[in-house]
Every structure is written in C-alpha cells, then in structure tokens.
Amino acid sequence: MTQPSDAAASRAAVAPRSAARARWMLVATTLVWLLAVGAGLRSAWNYESAPGRAAATKSQWPAGSRIAPAPDRATLVLLGHPQCPCTRASIGELAQLMARGGDKVTAYVLFVKPSGTPAGWEKTDLWRSAAAIPGVQVRLDEEGREARRFHVSTSGQTLLFDRAGQLRFSGGITSARGHAGDNAGRDAIVSLLETGTATRTKTPVFGCALLSSDADSPDADGK
Amino acid sequence: MHELKPQQKLEISPPNGTLPNDTAQRARELFVQQQQALFVRTDRSFAWLMGLQWLAAIVVALWISPRTWAGQLSETHPHVWSALFLGGAITLYPVGLALTRPGEAITRYTIAAAQMLMGALLIHLSGGRIETHFHVFGSLAFLSFYRDWRVLIPAVVVVVLDHSLRSLYWPYSIFGVLTGSLWRVVEHAGWVIFECVFLTLAITRSVNEMKAVAGHTAELEATNRRIEETARANQNMK
C-alpha cells in the first residue's frame, strides 16, 4: 500500500511533467495555427495574383468600332466592368497615367453593359471616377459589342494604339486583382508615350469577366 | 504575490548605491508584479483591438469588394470570405490566449505575430493601399506597450517572411515587378527594423525606470518599517 508521503512525492514528480507537456502542446497548437493562417493567406494571394483571360486584340484598330483612333496622337482604350471592384484600382492607375502623359494620348474608358441589366446599372462610382479624370472620355459599351470587336474578355484590359492605329500595348495596369501601386503595365504605357519604346508590350490583366458566358465570348467579332 | 523565476532575478539598484538584500528582493518582487500586471493589461487591450480589427476587416471587404462579377452574374467576393474566415482564424486564437492565459510569454508572442498577419490581410483586402501599410508600423508601436523587446521579434519575423515569400512567389502583386527583387524585401524589412531599434531603446529606458520605481518603493517600505519599529520601541520604553 502506498504511504501518504509517497503519494505526495509522486504527485510532485508528475506535476512538472504535465506542466511541460501542456507547454509543448501549447507551442504545437500555436505552430498549427500559424500554418493554417499561412495556408489561408497563400490561398488569398493566389486568388489576388490569378490573371483574367488575356485579350486577343488584332494588331490593327478594329474595323466597325464606334470610336475612332486619334489621327495626331496615341489612343488608349480601357474596357471595364462597371461593377467590378478590381477595376477600381485600374481606374486609379489610369488617373496616374493620365497625370503623367495625358497630353500625349486620347483616352477612352468603355464600360460594358451586359444584356439583361436594368437601366442605370452601369452608372456606378467607377463610371463617375473614370469620368472625373481629365482627358478621359467614358462611353457605354452596350452588350459588350466593342469588347468583342477588340477581343477583350477581362475588365481592366488596356490597349494602346499609335497614331497609325497599330496596337503597341495590351495588358493590365495593376499588379494584381484590385491592387493599386507600381506595375509594369503602367510603366510600359508611360514609356511608350514618352519615348516611343517600352521593354514590355504585354502584361497580365486582373479583373472580372466582362461577359458571363461562352455565347457572349469576344472571340467572335462584334456586330 | 508572484514568485520570482530565475530569469526574472533582475539587477535592481538605486542610483546612489546598493540596496540591502531584503530590500533588493522586495524591489524585484515589486518590479515583477508591476511587469506582470502590465503584460495582463496589454494582453486584454490587444484582445479588444483584435476583435475590432476583425470587424473592420469584414466591413472593409463588404464596402470595397462585396461581389465579384462575370457579365451580369455576380457572387459573393472571395475577399468577404477571407475577411470572415481568415480574419477569424487570425483573431480568435490569440484572443483566446489573451483571455485564458493573460500575462504568459506565448500569449504576447502569438499576439505579435497575429497583429502582423492581420496587417497582411488588411493590406490584401484594401487592394494594397499604401495607407494600410501604416497598420504594420502602428502595430509595432502598440506592441511596445508590453515593454518587452522580445515581442518585436515574432512581429519582424512575420513581416520578413511575408515579404520574402511574396517576393519569391508573387513578386508582381507585392512590388509590381515581374521578377522577384531581394533588395526591395531588404528595403521594406529595413524600415520595420528601423522602427524596432527605436522602440527597443524606448522599452529599455522604460523598463529601467520601472526598476528604479520598484527600488524606491522598496526603500520607502523599509524606511516606513524602520520608523514603525522605532516608534513601537519608544512606546514600549515609556
């Protein structure tokens, strides 16, 4: 039979062991928590960095477009989805771009209004922000006809044509979905406007799909 | 009364000489009590702050990017789910520690890491707005309320890891360049370390002041005791 003093000694020996085990369990739980949060952030950054479908714009200004390229300067066309939150960053980058090279370019922002949307659906804060940029002309692209003519699928796609109507740049002007800040697209366009050359003429584009189904796909020429 | 651990046996001495042993022991006790109370108080403040940050992350996601679109179709934006679930995961564990294990070292180190992770999430949700990056610097300043320079280490490690991994795997999203740049990582980490150097200096000074106050209080207690003893002795003599 165990004496009371033996039991007390045994409890005293077990107590530090169980405290050490509890401490290690806590450290292990914290590491598992860190790994789980790291995996969550990784998934968020993957989404943020996943580009949309790239444009297949022809090298020449599309025939039949309702807008015409400027004869005396470059023409920039940005196609946007009026409700896409990612495009807010593209409009912000466009504002910066126009502040630096607005005197060398005619700029259009075309907001796509898909079929079946109510009147005024396209008049969002994005529309108003784009319209407020000096030198930018905002137009409605009913049912995405212009998007089809330019073979553009993703909101934020920006095209730069020279005065001869030749495509000089095609891509996004943000570095990730809805991400403001330095990016290769904006730098390339500024360089093309200022020097006529750029190290890059294509960049990934980040934004919502302009149209919802394959039937609406811009791969077919707009009518 | 808190028991002194070996690593807490800190040097406490008044500026004009050494304290008697029992007074020095009492000064150490007072210092540890004050430090422990500070840790617990700061843990609780962070529990509140982290709850509010989580709420703010959800509001930001609902405000900036409530839905994602494809033509006329829309669904809840992944940012909203990130704010809800990832924000919840970042917040709930350290808040749980702050409530159940306030004052423990692992609680404040976890809180420090969580603050930086929440900063990364808020930057993600706000679309990389430069203003949101101030959260990192504000959080470092708030972490210094612990007056324990060691809490800055997990915070800096999280920031450096975040920037290094993103520079390696998603360089375009973090720096806007299509190839990773080690120097940009060094530059960003450098500013964080710059702040930490000054916070560490301030923490060291503040801890020294706490020790001095504890020393003076212990001396005052000893003097009071001596006066009481003398008065009692005088009364007995009468």
pLDDT at B117 (0 to 100): 98
Which of A30, A48, A66 corresponds to the end of one domain?
Answer: A48
For residues B179 and B169, give the distance between their C-alpha atoms in angstroms, rounded to a whole number. 9
Query: Are the beta carbons of B127 and A88 separated by less than 8 Å?
Result: yes
pLDDT score for B172: 75
pLDDT in the model for residue B236: 87
- Residues A1, A101, single domain; the answer is no
Side-chain-side CA neighbours of B115 within 13 Å: the count stands at 29
Residue B88 near chain A (CB below 8 Å): no
pLDDT tens over chain A, length 223 residues? 445 566 666 666 677 888 899 999 999 999 999 999 999 999 999 999 999 999 999 999 999 999 999 999 999 999 999 999 999 999 999 999 999 999 999 999 999 999 999 999 999 999 999 999 999 999 999 999 999 999 999 999 999 999 999 999 999 999 999 998 889 999 999 999 999 999 999 999 999 999 986 555 555 444 4
Query: In angstroms, rounded to a whole number, what is the distance separating the alpha carbons of residues B102 and B39?
Result: 7
Asked if A178's CB is within 8 angstroms of B177's CB, the reply is no
Q: Which helix (H) or strand (E) holds B210?
A: helix B182-237
Q: CATH number, domain at A170?
A: 3.40.30.10
Q: Which residues contact A34 (CB under 8 A, 6 or more apart)?
A: B113
Residue type, B3: E
Q: Residue A64: left (phi > 0), alpha (psi -120 to 50), or beta?
A: left
Out of B106, B117, B127, closest to residue A26 by CB: B106
Task: Give the separation between CA A178 and CA A47, rounded to whole angstroms.
Answer: 11
Q: Are residues A92 and A164 in the same domain?
A: yes
In this structure, is residue B72 part of a structural domain?
A: no
Domain that holds residue B225: 23-64+77-237
Q: Do A33 and B72 touch (CB under 8 A)?
A: no
Whether A11 is in a domain gets the answer yes
Tell me the pTM. Answer: 0.86
Residue B70 lies in a domain: no
Residues A110 and A19 in one domain: no
* Residue A201 tokens, joined: 């003429």
Residues A180 and A92 in one domain: yes
> Chain A within 8 Å of B121 (Cβ-Cβ)?
yes
Give how far Cα B150 sits from Cα of A32, B104, B112, Å. 22, 13, 10
A84 shares its domain with A20: no
Q: pLDDT of B127-150, one tens digit each? A: 888 889 999 999 999 999 999 999
Averaged confidence pLDDT in chain B: 90
Q: Is 50 exceeded by the pLDDT of residue B154?
A: yes
pLDDT score at A12: 66
Residue B106 touches partner A, C-beta closer than 8 Å: yes
Predicted-complex ipTM score:
0.86
Using a pLDDT cut of 70, give the percent of chain B over it: 90
The answer for residues whose C-beta is within 8 angstroms of residue A169's C-beta and 6 or more apart is A158, A159, A160, A185, A188, A189, A192, A198, A201, A202
pLDDT over 90 for what percent of chain B?
75
Query: What is the per-residue pLDDT for B138?
Result: 97
Same domain, A83 and A193: yes
Residue A222 lies in a domain: no
Q: Is A66 a member of any domain?
A: no
Segments forming the whole domain that contains residue A134: 74-216
With a cut of 90, say whether residue B17 has pLDDT above it.
no
Instruction: Provide the 3-class DSSP secondary structure of residue A155.
Output: coil
B71 touches chain A (CB under 8 A): yes
User: Does residue B13 form part of some domain?
Assistant: no
Tell whether A107 and A198 lie within a shared domain: yes
Instruction: Say which of B69, B89, B170 has its CB closest to residue A84.
Output: B69
Based on the domain organization, do A15 and A114 belong to the same domain? no
User: Does A42 fall in a domain?
Assistant: yes
**Chain B contact present for A218, CB below 8 A:** no
The total domain count for chain B is 1
Question: Is B172–A204 a contact, with Cβ atoms under 8 angstroms apart?
Answer: yes
Closest Cα in chain A to B176: A183
Q: What is the pLDDT of residues B80-104, one digit of tens each?
A: 999 999 999 999 999 999 999 999 9
Of A9, A32, A48, the last residue of a domain is A48
Instruction: List chain A residues with CB under 8 Å of B64.
Output: 85, 88, 178
Q: CB distance from B127 to chain A under 8 Å?
A: yes
> Residue B213: pLDDT band by 50, 70, 90 thresholds?
very high
**From residue B217, how far is each of A107, B5, B22, B212 by CA, in Å?**
73, 21, 13, 9
What is the structure's pLDDT at A216? 54
Quote the CA–CA distance of A117 and B70 in Å, as a whole number: 12
| C-alpha span between B137 and B198 (Å, rounded) | 12
For residue A4, the model assigns a pLDDT of: 57
Distance CA A143, CA A53 (A): 18
Q: What pLDDT was estimated at residue B1?
A: 41
Number of domains in chain A: 2
Output the CA–CA distances (angstroms, integers) from residue A33 to A78, A133, B12, B84, in the order listed: 43, 45, 38, 16
A30 contact B CB<8A: yes
How many angstroms separate the first and last alpha carbons of chain A? 98
Query: How far, in Å, are A121, A125, B135 from residue B64 at the CA level?
Result: 18, 11, 18
Do A105 and A212 lie in a common domain? yes
Neighbours of A50 (CB within 10 A): 11
